[in-house]
Amino acid sequence: MDKGTLVEFKVQGDRRLAVVDRPDGKTRWFVVDERGTAHSLTPRQVTYSVPGQTYKASEIPKFLTAVQPYIDPSSLEIAWELLIELGEESVNPKKLASLLFSEENPPQCYAAHCLLSEDKLYFKLKGDYYEPRSASQVAELKHQSEVANLRQKEQEQFFARISQVLDGATVEWEKYDRQRLEAIERFALTMVETGRSGGMQDPNRNPPALLLEIMNHLGRTATPQAVMQLLIDLGIWSEHENLVLRRSLIPSQFPIKVLEVAQQCLDSPPPDLDLDRLDLTRLKVYTIDDESTSEIDDGLSWEVLANGQQKLWVHIADPTRWLIPEDELDKEARRRGTTVYLPTGMIPMFPAVLATGPMSLIQGKSCCALSFGVILDELGAVESYSIHASVIKPTYRLTYEDVDEMLQLGLRAEPEIAAIASLAQLRKTWRHSQGAISIHLPEASIKVKGDEITINVLEDSTSRQLVAEMMILAGEVAGRYGQAHNIALPFRGQPQPELPSAEELIQLPAGPVRACGMRRCMPKSEMSITPSRHAGLGLQTYTQATSPIRRYSDLLTHFQLKAHLRGEDLPFSAEQLKEVMLSVFSVTQEVVLVERQTNRYWGLEYLRRHPEEVWQALVLMWLREDTGLALILIEDLGLQLPMPFKRDVALGEQVLLKAAYVDPRQDILQFQEVSHAEV
């Protein structure tokens, strides 16, 4: 480089002009910029040398002023079109200056250099020259630029809408906003899960760039808690958002196609495949459920035959009247596996317009059903049975409390209820004679309406036992029919448990403690396409068939049984049924986990809201006796929770507790034991 040469170099990406002054050692040169500041450069750091004359540092501003009128990026498109038309393969700043400005003086050449070096569209650098891109390349780059500009505009508008919502305004989110919001939700879910599980946050897992931009724009830190709070502030999540459900694969909404098919079923009911349904509308039919139940899938009847025998009828809703295997409704029900019951409400297996409408057994309406007619012998065993596709007309919709009251009052107007209860007790006694094992523990029923949480303890009342026995009876009959006719069904069995000896059991306090001791010995039930003994129920064969609106395995039983009753080929072969059962099992396992964790969350939230309440609890069993960790039962709530004790306690001992610290979101619960004197 020669003294006085005007050169360009970059400082943190910005162009800078300076004049070469003197050498700095063997390989470097000192250059002086317009401010008089000296810089030491190597020749490789020089990005352009202005040819034609020498300069002084004080002349740089004047030179830049002379250059400025020629800096017009739009002129590059004209030059590119001319070069393409002429077939020129490359151009340098001097040649471009001649082409654009008809001059090759230093200001014009430098202006051409600036245009070329800044351009990302029409030219690409190759050595000391710039080659014009092809028309197709330019078109593609223009498209990419337009897309980038559109995204930038969308992002700016997205930021503006976020600020408006946080300021209290109501906005309509655009489609592209939803994609960004979902990305934020995914991050929040992932990170909150890390915190909830007590795990360490992955140091390499940084927040997405978009999230960082949003949080920086709002002046918030990009922590999991801050991101979650942002979603709450935006009204996208509630304070008690069900993160367990959101993290799961359980769909909360039905696809539009499925909803359309459901509506078509209502508007134009499909033909009924069971043309010879047995008309049982003469029977008085009782449906017995919780008051909040909207999917009514079973009803009961009782009659005395001409020969004096008593006959029980268990009527089960017939959703297969409205669908066939592999149609849209069936595939969606299979994907869901079951209705999900949460304290905040349910997520149905079928669209609500069907599940709570024509599929349900609605009081006063003619309903399609699958009816199990059963005659018991004097001991309670099944003497004879029949299964029919039927039509019934539910007479009364009763709650469990209604039935308990009717039985206590001994209403003469409804002798059927008392007769069914008597046969249910006979049936229970028979099952116990066959080895059935009854385990009863208080169960919490948690309901959330708005911001109010209510917890009721479900007792093992006469009415609940009555309904349970009738459902078990229908399950036995369905299993026996399948076994007798070699039909592949989702049979349920349970291996024989190794229960504690009578001497060991008697050492445990009677009631919940003893029941808990027995429960921990019970093996899990098993599902198979071949029948096997169900030890817990005391039955040689059993399948679930009484909840086809809300359990897909029950729906499978209906598909198979009804096809056989019509004399048709079974819709599922043994292998096909096994494959479907496996897929449904994995789904229902996840549902069980979500239901359990959601109930736990709301149970903890209830305790958090009652910090001064003193609860009476029962020590049920040891979880880790060596560390003093026990399972307790809060008797007024039916909640079973772990608690570490720092003193010796005995199983069955009653203790008084306060919830000292509760964080439902982080699944933290710390009890404080209180004395009777402190109450």
Per-residue pLDDT tens over the stretch 274-326: 999 999 999 999 999 998 899 999 999 999 999 999 999 999 999 999 999 99
CA 541 to chain centre: 35
Residue 95 has pLDDT above 70, yes or no: yes
What pLDDT shows up at residue 194?
Answer: 52
- Give the mean model confidence (pLDDT) for residues 570-595: 95
- Residue 445 has phi, psi (to 5 degrees) of -110, 110
Residue 191 has pLDDT above 80, yes or no: no
Closest CA to 445 of 611, 595, 588: 595
Residue 200 has pLDDT above 50, yes or no: no
Q: How many CA atoms lie within 13 A of 396 on its CB side?
A: 15
- Give the mean model confidence (pLDDT) for residues 5-20: 93
- Residue 511 has phi, psi (to 5 degrees) of 105, -145
What is the distance between the alpha carbons of residues 435 and 495, in angstroms, rounded to a whole number? 12
Query: Residue 580, SS3?
Result: helix
What is the distance between the alpha carbons of residues 363 and 581, in angstroms, rounded to a whole number? 33
Tokens of 71: 């800096």
Inter-axis angle of helices 93-101 and 106-118, nearest 10: 110
What pLDDT shows up at residue 336?
Answer: 96
Residue 496 has pLDDT above 50, yes or no: yes
What pLDDT shows up at residue 199?
Answer: 44
pLDDT band for 503, please (50, 70, 90 cuts).
Answer: confident
Report which secondary-structure segment, H or E, holds 453: strand 452-458
Query: Residue 52, SS3?
Result: coil
Contact 191, 224 (CB under 8 A): yes
- Give the mean model confidence (pLDDT) for residues 370-389: 98
Residue 195 has pLDDT above 50, yes or no: no
Contact 371, 311 (CB under 8 A): no
Closest CA to 16 of 3, 34, 28, 36: 34
Query: Residue 60, SS3?
Result: helix
- Give the mean model confidence (pLDDT) for residues 658-663: 95
What pLDDT shows up at residue 267?
Answer: 94
Strands 286-289 and 396-399: parallel
Residue 556 has pLDDT above 60, yes or no: yes
What pLDDT shows up at residue 109?
Answer: 95
The 10s digit of each residue's pLDDT in 615-643 is 999 999 999 999 999 999 999 999 999 99
pTM of the model: 0.80
